[in-house]
Chains A and B, each alone.
Chain A
Amino acid sequence: MNTSSLTQHPAKVTGWQLFLKTVWARSYPRLIGQQRDLSWLIFDMLLPIGGVIAYVCVYKAIGAPNEYIGFVVMGGAMTAFWMNVLWSMSSQLYWEKEQGNLGLYIMAPNSMMAILLGMALGGMLATTLRAAIVMVVGSLIFQVQYQVASFFQLFAVFVLAMTALYGMGMMTSSLFLLLGREAWHFSNLAQEPVYLASGFYFPIRALPFWVAAAASVIPLTLGLDAMRQLVFPSGFKLGFLNTGLEIGILIGLAVFFLVGAKLLLAKMEKLAIREGRLTETRR
């Protein structure tokens, strides 16, 4: 009997190959799961449009100029990414702890950042579809007109904002390693205040300068502001800072959050192991 096939092991990978394999492995369940149950098409795509419609109707009731309706549609679309970071990344480690998987992740010879990135990418399909549907349907219903000043800058702003945002999500997920049931409440708390501070439904310039400046630490604040300036004809009049400066700040935020995520994840993992928080389920 040829036993060589029984003793063969898959080729060992390390470094970047292991990182990418981990990302793929963690994103795979989400990608496949979304195809098996299509109810998210209703809950994650059609129903968020309701929120957008409500705020658009408020602007219509108070006689707002048309570009404000475009602001709401764009802001409503970007909430998809914030919700993905909040619920599918930041608090995900708490859910994994509840399910009993967190200890397995820690024991496995891979990077937590790779696991978190896999979670993010796995949910990215649904998130991007949700954002696109809100943009398209909202734009069609309310006849929003766009005039892109620079596609290259728009693409750069979007990619940088997403990179910084997901880096921030990785950083905050490390804090959730230490939390118990309050994790759900903190995630719940981080919705409306962020929508307010980041100007999801109105130009951030309307807030006092230092409030807007403080809110700029959330990447979507400057990302949304820059995108509005690039996409709406009168967007530049309502912008907080000029787009060049905002792109520069987003680059800085992306670097800061990614480096911070790596350091904080390692630190919090050690702290959680020392305090025995990896397997506790406090209800």
Chain B
Amino acid sequence: MQRSGSWRSFKMAAWLGWQIESNWADPFLFAIYSIIKPLSGAAILVVMYAIISKGNFTSPLFPYIYIGNAFYIYVGQVMTGVSWAVIDDREHYKTLKYMYIAPIRIPIYLLGRGVARFLTGSFSVVITLVVGVWFLHLPLDVTRVNWPLFTMTLLVGIVMLGMLGLLLGSFSLLLVHHSGFVGDAVAGALYIFSGAIFPLEVLPAWLRPIGFAMPITYWLELIRRSLIGNVAQAFPTLAGFSDAQLFAILMGLSLAFGAASIFAFRFCDHRARERGLIDRVTNY
């Protein structure tokens, strides 16, 4: 009974999230929106790189930056998708209180709401990679991709990002103003510490431990290694770790953050109910 309740919650939330994300425009306009935004973000980095390197896209730094930026789309989308559901339902649609009294499991519901963002994020990632391969000579050969490593890493990473989103969503239950920006703000901060678009060696030594404590750092490194292999290993940051070691670290940190998110949600949910914040509307 509990398993079917969880699956029902997840399935319904995923459907609802997709309806909200996609029904503001016709499919063509929605596709344009999903293409232009991520490509513009990638293009900023490409232009910056091209100016300084005089268009040398064969350097290993270019695929490092490009692939890291492409897959970082998932970080913003999934984390924000889950945490934003709290704001959307509480402030805009004013349905969070009804979700609480419905026969669904709220944490599973919130995770389900992130599915739509995962799907739109996937579309953006694929488009970004295809443009990179076709126009920028990104050294990504589908016949040489380590598909088992890529698949497992992607799955673990998406679950990890969902749990991080749940962690942020927990805090959103208690925050008043600017709670809508928590997901974007944390994603922006992690952009610096996760080695997404530059090696951690660029940071001062005293800041690098923050990056090493983030599961996203290892996730992106494994994604790069699975997609472009030796080129990714040209950088010293995590060169001393094998794929198996990196995957073990990723799993360990993901489990740790997952446990933290579950405890955080229970605490914040209890506090929000005690303080009557579930149906609060701040109108801010």
Q: Which residues of A contact B (CB under 8 A)?
A: 37, 39-40, 42-43, 47, 50-51, 53-55, 57-64, 68, 99, 180-182, 185, 188-189, 191-193, 195-196, 200-203, 206-207, 283
Contacts and interface: CB of A to CB of B under 8 A. Distances in A.
Tell me the dominant secondary structure on chain B's binding face.
Answer: helix
Interface string B57-74: 000010001000000000
B192 interface: yes
10 interchain residue pairs of minimum CB distance: A192-B40, A61-B198, A193-B40, A43-B178, A64-B52, A192-B41, A57-B198, A57-B202, A47-B185, A62-B52
Contact of B202 (A61, A181, A191): A61
A196 B44 contact: yes
Interface string B33-71: 100111011011101111111000000010001000000
A58 B189 contact: no
A193 to B, nearest CB: 4
A53 B211 CA distance: 14
Nearest to A65: B52
A54 B185 CA distance: 13
Contact of A195 (B40, B49, B181): B40
B191 interface: yes
B51 A55 contact: no
Interface in B64-89: 65
Contacts of B43: 196
The prevalent SS among residues of A at the interface is helix
Contacts of B51: 64, 68, 202-203, 206
B273 interface: no
Given A189-B36, A192-B44, A207-B47, A39 B177 contact: yes
26 contacts: A47-B181, A47-B185, A50-B191, A51-B188, A53-B192, A54-B188, A54-B192, A54-B198, A57-B192, A57-B198, A58-B48, A59-B52, A62-B48, A62-B53, A181-B24, A182-B25, A185-B25, A185-B33, A189-B36, A193-B36, A193-B40, A196-B40, A196-B44, A200-B44, A203-B51, A206-B50
B152 interface: no
B48 A40 contact: no
Contacts of B143: none
Contacts of A188: 37
Which of B44, B61, B92, B93 has its CB near the most chain A CB atoms (within 10 A)?
Answer: B44
Contact of B49 (A43, A62, A180): A62
Contacts of B93: 283
B191 A54 contact: yes
Which of A182, A196, A200, A207 has most B Cβ within 10 Å?
A196
Contacts of B178: 39-40, 42-43
A63 B52 contact: yes
A60 B198 CA distance: 9
Contacts of B234: none
A138 to B, nearest CB: 13
A37 B282 CA distance: 12
Interface in B88-141: 92-93
Contacts of A60: 198, 202
Contacts of B232: none
B229 interface: no
Contact of B44 (A50, A68, A195): A195
